[in-house]
Amino acid sequence: MVTDAERAAADAARARLDRLSQPFLERPGVTWGRMFSTEGLGIRGKIFAVVPHAGGLMVKVPESRADELVADGSVQRMVMRGREMREWVVMPDAASDADWSALLEEAFAYLDELTR
């Protein structure tokens, strides 16, 4: 169950993602789409970034890159139904806009390549 604090964090994170998404939405094929009962950024129908229900920024990156980011402590793996997702990581709300933007860029580049 999502707490009021988590809901507030997710609302703030969605507003932040909306603000940071503008340069991506100007690129061909990038649109908003649905995943995990929420809206996220996608390219050619595949979501690359979304705000989970507890807040933060969840993105899809190559598994090896996810391993690096987890090891350096900048993100955590997304866990769904008790299982760590190989390519999905969550950057906390406390990270800077620059860090969020850099991770969005990595996720976009990865899905852009996968969906060509």
* Predicted local distance difference test score (pLDDT) of residue 60: 98
CA distance 52 to 58: 6
Q: What is the CATH number of domain 4-114?
A: 3.90.1150
> Residue 12 carries which DSSP code?
H
* Predicted local distance difference test score (pLDDT) of residue 63: 98
Contact call for residues 6 and 55 (beta carbons, < 8 A): yes
Query: pTM score > 0.85 for this model?
Result: yes
* Predicted local distance difference test score (pLDDT) of residue 37: 83
Q: Name the residue ranges covered by the structural domains of the chain.
A: 4-114
Per-residue tens of pLDDT for the chain, all 116 residues: 778 999 999 999 999 999 999 999 999 999 999 987 889 999 999 999 999 988 999 999 999 999 999 999 999 999 999 999 999 999 999 999 999 999 999 999 999 999 99
What are all long-range contacts of 63-69, with beta carbons under 8 Å and residues at least 24 apart?
63/87, 65/106, 65/110, 69/103
